[in-house]
Amino acid sequence: MLIYLDTGTSTAWATTAALRTSLGAEVLLADSLTSVEALLRTGDHELIVVGPDVDLAAACSLASSLRLTGSPVGVILTRHTPTSEVLRAAMVAGVREVVASDDITVLAEACQRSQEVSQQLRLRAPASQTPTQTTGEIVTVFAAKGGCGKTTISTNLAASFARAGRRTCLLDLDLAFGDVAIAMALQPKRTIADVMGLSALDETAVRSLVTRHDDSGVDAILAPVEPGTAEAISSTLIGDLLEVLKTMYDVIVVDTPPAFTEHVLATFDRAEHLVLLTTLDVPALKNLKLTLETLEMLGYARERWHVVLNRADAKVGLSASDVERTLRTPIAVQVPSSRAVPATINRGTPIVIDQPGHAVSVAVRRLADALCAVPSPHAKPTGRRSFTLRGKVRAQA
């Protein structure tokens, strides 16, 4: 069944009737988010179509709430005139498609595509939901601006966890330009691109994708080496891979690209910790501020945010206090700059392994300890959120 959310005008009733005719399926009209929530509790729905006069923020809140709960219910957004800003906000929130409100044929085709996706997700749900086995924690490292040191922090975090006795996997999710293999001097026989050729996504299959970093003990799943491969890897597949990895490892560190892609959002949805990087320059701070605003809009709990200031001692006219004042968020850890870091990258050994007493190594270990304070059962001696709808349906100006 399908829900059409709009303000209850005669046009909304006409659209509801047209969708019933085009799809040959039951379509229910809802005039508020409260009505949508009630319908979702009582019926087996696959899709919500949001009318053109529903406030964009309310529509995005609805899509985000559904995505955060792992619901198979899809959201299609209609607008009188879809703009690039609308498309961007919808993509970030998890809306499946945005279509013009005056083209019922195109809207019906989008509905059919979305319903097929929902049906596939429902069929796959029993096999992928293994809550009793899920024990690992996902640490997603993200910066909306390139050059902040995501891969350096990711590789050293993973090495810190592994050296502390935790079973650790490092997933390079920068599918187009991933550098984990170079930073750790790894020569992969298989990469994440090979996940598409697996007959089943289970522990045995996933182990075939892993490349071991012997110096640290980290298992890495590396980015594709062939250009264009990333387009064939779906965010659903990434989500399924992460769920399997959580049954195999104590910690999964995810190195991400500098963009809010569907793959990145799939990791955000599942991550216990979001490590958000910045440096002492205005573009990086601006992008992190936008990142924090986006995370808040999407409903990610602030307790999961960990702001890390990389190269914190750079003499560039900004200070850590300037960063905290700008972001209105405390810095969890300050990592100093050092020429030793690129030197260790060139040798393919994380600095926490190569120079464990270095100030950079100490800062990264402090971050690792803060992220996963509970001791691992394998250590040597030494978010799903509940479904809620926020906001009110109101006509757009």
Last residue of a domain, one of 110, 128, 146: 128
| 283 plus 166 within the same structural domain | yes
Q: Which helix (H) or strand (E) holds 135?
A: none
Amino acid in the structure at residue 312 = A
| 78 plus 213 within the same structural domain | no
Does the pLDDT of residue 386 top 90, yes or no? Answer: no
Q: What is the pLDDT of residues 150-208, one digit of tens each?
A: 999 999 999 999 998 899 999 999 998 899 999 999 988 889 988 877 767 788 888 88
- Dig out the tokens for 373 from the structure: 């304070």
Does the pLDDT of residue 373 top 70, yes or no? Answer: no
Last residue of a domain, one of 72, 97, 128: 128
What is the number of structural domains in the chain? 2
| 147 plus 295 within the same structural domain | yes
CATH number of the domain at 349, please. Answer: 3.40.50.300
The share of the chain scoring above pLDDT 90, in percent, equals 41
- Dig out the tokens for 75 from the structure: 């959201």
Structural Rg of the chain based on CA atoms: 23
Q: What does the pLDDT average to over 362-383? A: 66
Instruction: Classify residue 376: in a domain, yes or no.
Output: no
Instruction: Classify residue 383: in a domain, yes or no.
Output: no
For residue 58, the number of C-alpha atoms closer than 13 Å in the C-beta half-sphere is 21
Q: What does the pLDDT average to over 56-81? A: 86
User: Given pLDDT bands bounded at 50, 70 and 90, which one contains residue 228?
Assistant: confident
Does the pLDDT of residue 292 top 60, yes or no? Answer: yes
| 255 plus 362 within the same structural domain | yes
* Bridge partners, residue 170, by sequence: 220, 253
Question: What mean pLDDT value characterizes the chain?
Answer: 84
Q: What is the pLDDT of residues 251-286, one digit of tens each?
A: 999 999 999 888 999 999 999 999 999 998 899 999
The share of the chain scoring above pLDDT 70, in percent, equals 90
Instruction: Classify residue 99: in a domain, yes or no.
Output: yes
Instruction: Classify residue 379: in a domain, yes or no.
Output: no
- Dig out the tokens for 366 from the structure: 């402090």
Q: What is the pLDDT of residues 296-328, one digit of tens each?
A: 888 888 899 999 999 988 877 788 888 888 888
Considering the entire predicted model, what is its pTM?
0.69
Does the pLDDT of residue 8 top 80, yes or no? Answer: no
Does the pLDDT of residue 394 top 70, yes or no? Answer: no
| 111 plus 142 within the same structural domain | no
Q: What is the span of the domain harbouring residue 265?
A: 137-371
Gap between the terminal Cα atoms of the chain: 30
| 274 plus 331 within the same structural domain | yes
User: Given pLDDT bands bounded at 50, 70 and 90, which one contains residue 64?
Assistant: confident
- Dig out the tokens for 114 from the structure: 């979305």
Q: What is the pLDDT of residues 114-166, one digit of tens each?
A: 888 887 777 655 444 444 455 899 999 999 888 899 999 999 999 999 998 89
Instruction: Classify residue 62: in a domain, yes or no.
Output: yes
Instruction: Classify residue 381: in a domain, yes or no.
Output: no
User: Given pLDDT bands bounded at 50, 70 and 90, which one contains residue 372?
Assistant: confident
Beta carbons of 215 and 349 less than 8 angstroms apart: yes
- 54/61 Cα distance (integer angstroms): 12
Beta carbons of 156 and 364 less than 8 angstroms apart: yes
Query: In angstroms, how far is CA 223 from the centroid of its own chain?
Result: 16
Q: What is the pLDDT of residues 70-120, one digit of tens each?
A: 788 989 999 988 888 888 788 778 888 899 988 889 999 998 888 888 877
Of 10-14, 94-98, 353-357, the one with minimum mean pLDDT is: 10-14
Instruction: Classify residue 239: in a domain, yes or no.
Output: yes
**3-class secondary-structure state, position 225:** coil
CATH number of the domain at 68, please. Answer: 3.40.50.2300
| 175 plus 117 within the same structural domain | no
| 206 plus 257 within the same structural domain | yes
Instruction: Classify residue 382: in a domain, yes or no.
Output: no
| 107 plus 221 within the same structural domain | no
| 94 plus 167 within the same structural domain | no
- 322/134 Cα distance (integer angstroms): 40
Q: Where are the alpha helices (DSSP H) in 129-277?
A: 150-163, 180-183, 203-207, 235-248, 262-270
| 102 plus 148 within the same structural domain | no
| Length of the chain counted residue by residue | 397
| 120 plus 260 within the same structural domain | no
